[in-house]
């Protein structure tokens, strides 16, 4: 009876025991799965986390290579700077790490935001920079509290330094933090998030030469974050030194001539394409980009009308005005549409296609041959040459001579420009070409758009007998010992097949522009046998305003002067553009004259570069109403 009575209890006990057994098996399987998950599937991840708890990588920043001018003068170098950085080991996040030090080392809201954003791309065992380029007082403060805050680090970093500030800034460029787009670019495969790379100019184009290779120290630290020992050390390797063809003395002098003006200037060798000066006004101070700019700093920078990142010599497009007449003269001579001695009459205007086209000399120039047409920049003469040539032939010659096409200069973001044709207008605007547009194109107006550097290449071809050189800035690349690794040489883009007399006739006309009562007489400098051409590129017609001077400043004509010297053996080409400067003979020619004078003074070893006074007209030369 007793057995029968207790049987249900026994059965209940065994049921509970069996359930316990199943539960035990399930728990065992659960822990086994978790163990498998942690130790096998995610072994590498958790192993790395464990290692990060006792290993640190302290970066040793490599100095960026120097940029020198042709004399060896420093244009871009480095200075020592100190950053305060923090390790996140022992904390769940950067936010928690910052909270730990806020009573001792508080950050500005913008600094904290930058750190939290950087956290996503910086490995756990590497420090996050929390304050850049800090003071010696803050460095001393952090070092004095290292025992209490072992996660703080003073990081030595070579900071990019541009000793002459705005000098040639759009050419030299600046550096900046690697952005997300660049991280995906194969050209930056050796760089990582947070690295500083060239963002503009020479700094960008030759970044792989200039950027060094960072070193590092692998440390073992204890649970408090204090260093136990150094496990490994890799020394940084500095970047290569780049020497440019730029002459900083000449560059500085020309920039002083553009004080208060907007415009550009190019000085290059017609025998090689080497650029000796490339001036942009306004410019900017690249030192501003050597560290993070605050929002207030950016606002101040963007709101300053005298700061510009733009390299006007290759990125801004301008109508060339009457300087383009040199191209028309070459094309007309080559096509035998005119001879140097053939004369056309200028009455001060001409009617073509039922439209009146005016000359800048209202009373007219009378009988005009090629020489007089260039010297006095007669519109009516070149209107007729343009009509005979037609838009397509003009464009073909312009492109062949380097206008409306990229020069291939070793700088980023170069623009192509435009020499318009009927096909272009149909394709881009869906409109038919008006024959009168050809007349405007013939004097460098209408839709014609070129860069100052293109004009320099074009004039070089006239000066050197028909060789188009690829302009360049890089002279050589050297290592830290001074050993030359790369030496640049002139590159011929093409040799023009022109009649021997064509360029000679155009050069003679250019000589007269400066030396024979021409529009460019204000460029004349005693002792320098130069040749040139002025240009006044209208933005709108000044007919309703009376004169160009009556227009609002931003609508006034652009002033050009292009030229070379010496006349018989050209060694330097000068192009000057003054935005909204008015007449080229008045605004640009005097600046060009000073540049020629400065160049030859430098060559002769003069102690000062250039003279402050405007050149006076040579004997027998008088001012003319024609100021184009």
Q: DSSP string covering 6-47, please?
A: HHHHHHHHHHHHHHHHHHHHHHHHHHHHHHHIIIIITHHHHH
Name the band, by pLDDT with cuts 50, 70 and 90, for residue 620.
Answer: very low
State the DSSP string of 37-78: IIIIITHHHHHHHHHHTTEEEEEEPPPPPPEE-TTS-EEEEE
Let me know the angle formed at the C-alpha of 225 by 222 and 230, rounded to the nearest 5 degrees: 65
Per-residue b or e along 532-542, where b marks 16 or more CB atoms closer than 10 Å to that residue's CB = bbbbbbbbeeb
CATH number of 248-288+312-603: 3.40.710.10
- Helices of type H across 86-242: 94-101, 109-118, 136-144, 169-172, 180-183, 201-205, 207-210
Domain ranges of the chain: 2-41, 55-244, 248-288+312-603
Residue with tokens 């020992």: 229
Q: SS3 sequence, 383-404?
A: HHHHHHHCHHHHHHHHHHCCCC
Name the band, by pLDDT with cuts 50, 70 and 90, for residue 414.
Answer: very high
Higher pLDDT residue, 129 or 357?
Answer: 357
146-194, pLDDT tens digit by residue? 777 777 788 888 999 999 999 999 999 999 888 778 878 888 888 887 7
567-604, pLDDT tens digit by residue? 999 999 999 999 999 999 999 999 999 999 999 998 77
Q: What is the pLDDT of residue 227?
A: 67
Q: What is the pLDDT of residue 298?
A: 60
Q: Mean pLDDT over all residues of the chain?
A: 86
Cis-peptide into 566, omega within 30 deg: yes
Pick the CATH number of 55-244 from 3.90.1150.10, 3.40.50.10470, 3.30.930.10, 3.90.1310.10: 3.90.1310.10
Name the band, by pLDDT with cuts 50, 70 and 90, for residue 322.
Answer: very high
Q: Give me the long-range contacts of 138-146 (CB less than 8 A, separation at least 24).
A: 138/84, 139/82, 139/84, 141/105, 142/84, 142/105, 145/104
How much is the average pLDDT of 124-140? 81
How much is the average pLDDT of 298-315? 77
Are residues 577 and 318 in contact, defined by beta-carbon separation less than 8 angstroms? Answer: yes
Q: What is the pLDDT of residue 49?
A: 46
Coil, helix or strand at residue 179: coil
How much is the average pLDDT of 535-546? 74
Residue 539 pLDDT greater than 80, yes or no: yes
């Amino acid at each position: 009876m007793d057995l029968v009575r207790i049987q249900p209890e026994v059965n209940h006990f065994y049921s509970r025991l069996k359930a316990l057994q199943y539960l035990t098996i399930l728990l065992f399987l659960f822990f086994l799965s978790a163990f498998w998950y942690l130790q096998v599937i995610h072994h590498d991840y958790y192993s790395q986390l464990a290692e990060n708890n006792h290993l640190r990588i302290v970066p040793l920043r490599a100095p960026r290579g120097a940029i020198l001018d042709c004399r060896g003068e420093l244009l871009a170098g480095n200075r020592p700077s100190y950053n305060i950085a923090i390790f996140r080991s022992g904390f769940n996040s950067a936010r928690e790490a910052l909270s730990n030090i806020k009573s001792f080392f508080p950050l500005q809201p913008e600094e904290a935001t930058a750190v939290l954003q950087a956290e996503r791309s910086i490995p756990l065992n590497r420090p996050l920079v929390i304050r850049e380029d800090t003071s010696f007082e803050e460095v001393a403060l952090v070092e004095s509290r290292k025992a209490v805050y072992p996660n703080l680090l003073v990081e030595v970093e070579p900071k990019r330094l541009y000793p002459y500030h705005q000098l040639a800034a759009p050419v030299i460029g600046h550096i900046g933090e690697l952005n997300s787009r660049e991280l995906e670019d194969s050209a930056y495969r050796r760089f990582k998030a947070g690295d500083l790379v060239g963002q503009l100019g020479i700094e960008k184009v030759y970044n792989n030469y200039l950027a060094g290779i960072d070193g590092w120290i692998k440390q073992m630290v204890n649970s408090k974050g204090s260093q136990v020992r150094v496990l490994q050390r890799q020394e940084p390797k500095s970047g290569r030194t780049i020497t440019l063809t730029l002459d900083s003395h000449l560059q500085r002098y020309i920039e002083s001539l553009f004080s208060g003006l907007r415009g550009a200037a190019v000085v290059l060798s017609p025998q090689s394409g080497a650029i000796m000066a490339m001036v942009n006004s306004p410019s900017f101070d690249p030192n501003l980009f050597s560290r993070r700019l605050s929002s207030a700093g950016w606002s101040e920078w963007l709101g300053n009308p005298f700061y510009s990142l733009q390299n006007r010599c290759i990125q801004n497009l301008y109508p060339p005005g009457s300087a383009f007449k040199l191209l028309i003269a070459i094309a007309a001579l080559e096509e035998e549409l005119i001879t140097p001695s053939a004369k056309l009459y200028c009455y001060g205007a001409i009617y073509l296609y039922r439209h009146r086209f005016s000359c800048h000399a209202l009373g007219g120039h009378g009988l005009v041959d090629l020489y007089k047409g260039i010297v006095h920049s007669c519109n009516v003469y070149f209107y007729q040459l343009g009509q005979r040539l037609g838009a397509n032939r003009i464009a073909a010659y312009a492109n062949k001579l380097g206008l409306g096409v990229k020069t291939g200069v070793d700088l980023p973001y170069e623009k192509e420009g435009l020499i318009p044709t009927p096909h272009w207008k149909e394709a881009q605007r869906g409109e038919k070409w008006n024959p009168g547009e050809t007349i405007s194109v013939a004097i460098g107006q209408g839709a014609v758009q070129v860069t100052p550097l293109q004009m320099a290449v074009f004039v070089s071809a006239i000066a050197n007998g028909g060789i188009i050189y690829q302009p360049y800035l890089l002279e050589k690349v050297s290592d830290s010992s001074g050993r030359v690794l790369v030496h640049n040489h002139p590159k011929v883009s093409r040799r023009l097949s022109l009649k021997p007399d064509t360029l000679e006739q155009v050069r003679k006309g250019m000589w007269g522009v400066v030396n024979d009562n021409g529009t460019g007489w204000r460029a004349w400098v005693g002792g320098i046998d130069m040749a040139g051409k002025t240009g006044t590129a209208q933005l709108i017609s000044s007919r309703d305003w009376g004169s160009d001077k009556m227009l609002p400043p931003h609508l006034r004509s652009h002033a050009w002067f292009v030229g070379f010297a010496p006349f018989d053996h050209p060694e330097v080409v000068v192009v000057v553009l003054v935005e909204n400067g008015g007449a080229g003979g008045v605004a640009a020619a005097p600046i060009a004259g000073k540049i020629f004078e400065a160049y030859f003074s430098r060559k002769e070893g003069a102690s000062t570069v250039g003279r402050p006074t405007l050149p006076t007209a040579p004997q027998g030369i008088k001012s003319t109403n024609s100021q184009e």
